[in-house]
Chains A and B, each alone.
Chain A
């Protein structure tokens, strides 16, 4: 089991000063925590246009009333939902971290955006010759979206955008931590955002990746993923700026399967490599991990690959693990950050999240697969993993200190 003190001194670290989220569960951290406690899902069917036909899709849509409120509050950006979502999450995170951010000048604040398709629905509209504001068009480009978010948050330090498929979020957190570690910033806003759009639906539908009944991660009868949309944000600061207790990023890594563009490797070796490297960077042994938040999309191949990778690294002692995709869907570029926010909530509240929508576990899954949430008696080290197109894998180690 993990320890609050063993790795605190030598491991590379950036501390988490604040979090924010907006997803199918609504705005803020409270709805997320309630969803974890009740093991409930926010996935709902909605009639969607895919190609030229309309049909019900089960996914994690941001509630319409949330969107309306954000649009009313910022009419200039009303048709750039990506910008509105990201700003909402960033403002929450800034509020959560207000005490420490006030002491950090704007020039020492950076921003790293994580997204796969930014405000892609504007491109959908342009192709259909529909009216699109210049701002919404500008935010088709992830780089401009990142620059505008940095301006809105008054971050005058480095502004970057990571776009690396479904590992974008964890990769962006690694970039944020690296900027702090290198002394390029004292605080970094790391935000992830992606939308459910005709573009994205058409893509995953063409690959036959969507489960028509909604995703069932690590289920014996799983049949595909459910998309989600939204944004999440984490404020990272130099660890010395926060007084304990604190949660910090102590290890991270990425790797590539070098196997297939859209399918994971069959043996899980690439993901295992990323996990081993992250543990090494955090300077902790595998048996110190108390909980793993898996990628767990619900596609047959991904979940099988993850189970093999976990067995490979942890042997017969796989720590308790679960997937959050059944709560809010697969939010793509936001996933790594939204699910890391969930890990932070777990660490703050001593709870091990369950796996909503899981009915009958895959027989190959270790017994430590969490179907239901449960109170944790010892929760200090958490591993977050994500995998994505292009054979990409990412792992992140979060640790909590004692007061």
Chain B
């Protein structure tokens, strides 16, 4: 474990967004005011990046969160050589998975939506965006807090299956979607957040100041703590 470092860490959720260098920044007022108004397009995207917003706007909520979490890392993937990008793995873990999109597709099937009815689509989107060809894994866990994904990423590094690993924990559920069918609340948590870590060896950082390995524990706690947002205080509950 000591051979590896966290190059970058990011988070976005109802209370704000940021990375290990910037700290948490508050969302603009429209999003702060009402958690049910999750509109992670246009305005909010423009805060983070100017690259290919049209593709971003086609994505479902899970992919948008993963995409933004990865962008928030501030790692310069584009500057990496193709050989290095072939050795960068992507691992995602979630509880809710693609349920938000599943429900929307079941209500109104559309070919453009079908591709997003898989929890692993976010990995595909990230690989396309950053031209990553390394190993990939998509886990759906009852106790999802990113620890399984993190463990797998570390194993990739340890086994030399990858030289860097992008590790994501995402929960994505629009309140309006969750309330559109009579699904129990424990199956469709009304929440959204995304967290990303970029792990690698200490000698290959894409940023100038990687976090020390000891910070892993704190990051794990942060990811675990993200579970509290599954049922945020004051959030609406199902009417059924």
Contact = CB atoms under 8 A, between A and B. Distances in A.
Contact of B111 (A134, A165, A206, A392): A206
Given A124-B106, A160-B148, A199-B106, A392 B136 contact: yes
A104 B127 CA distance: 40
Contacts of A203: 105, 109, 111, 114, 117
Contacts of B85: 258
Given A126-B183, A163-B97, A391-B124, A256 B111 contact: no
B161 interface: yes
B102 A261 contact: no
Contacts of B220: none
Contacts of A206: 109-111, 114
Contact of B136 (A143, A159, A254): A254
Most buried by B among A51, A116, A147, A261: A261
A253 B107 CA distance: 36
A138 interface: yes
A277 B103 CA distance: 37
Given A390-B124, A392-B123, A258 B133 contact: yes
B41 interface: no
Contact of A142 (B90, B128, B140, B182): B140
Interface in A230-274: 253-262, 270, 273
A147 B86 CA distance: 34
A146 B142 CA distance: 8
A256 B127 contact: yes
Nearest to A126: B181
A162 B144 contact: no
B128 A161 contact: no
B48 interface: no
A117 B114 CA distance: 12
Contact of A256 (B95, B119, B132, B182): B132
A226 interface: no
A202 interface: yes
B142 A389 contact: no
Contacts of A134: 184
Contacts of A141: 95, 97, 99, 140, 187
A127 B121 CA distance: 23
B45 to A, nearest CB: 19
B140 A161 contact: yes
Nearest to A159: B142
Interface residues of B, number: 49
Nearest to B89: A254
A301 interface: no
A140 B184 CA distance: 11
Interface in A304-345: none
A256 B187 contact: no
B124 A392 contact: yes
Contacts of B123: 164, 256, 390, 392
A97 B137 CA distance: 28
A46 B31 CA distance: 48
Interface string B90-134: 100001010100110111011100110111110111011011111
Contact of B97 (A138, A142, A391): A142
Contacts of B152: 175, 178
B238 interface: no
A390 to B, nearest CB: 3
Given A123-B102, A163-B119, A163-B138, A137 B133 contact: no
A128 to B, nearest CB: 9
A162 B123 CA distance: 13
Contacts of A258: 85, 127-128, 130-133
Interface in A129-155: 134, 137-138, 140-144, 146-147
Contacts of A270: 133
B131 A164 contact: no
A260 B135 CA distance: 17
Nearest to B119: A163
Given A143-B140, A258-B127, A258-B131, A390 B187 contact: no
Interface string A167-185: 0000100010010001000
Interface of B: 85-86, 90, 95, 97, 99, 102-103, 105-107, 109-111, 114-115, 117-121, 123-125, 127-128, 130-142, 144, 148, 152, 155, 161, 181-184, 187
Shortest beta-carbon contacts, A-B, top 4: A390-B124, A203-B114, A206-B111, A256-B127
Interface of A: 51, 116-117, 120, 123-124, 126-127, 134, 137-138, 140-144, 146-147, 159-165, 171, 175, 178, 182, 199, 202-204, 206-207, 253-262, 270, 273, 277, 281, 388-392
Given A142-B140, A160-B139, 20 more contacts: A117-B117, A123-B106, A126-B182, A137-B187, A143-B97, A146-B142, A161-B141, A162-B138, A199-B109, A203-B111, A253-B135, A254-B137, A255-B133, A256-B124, A256-B133, A257-B127, A258-B131, A261-B115, A261-B128, A262-B115
25 contacts: A51-B109, A120-B102, A123-B102, A137-B183, A137-B187, A143-B140, A163-B118, A163-B140, A164-B136, A164-B137, A171-B137, A175-B137, A206-B110, A206-B114, A254-B135, A255-B136, A256-B124, A256-B127, A257-B133, A258-B128, A258-B133, A390-B118, A390-B121, A390-B124, A392-B124
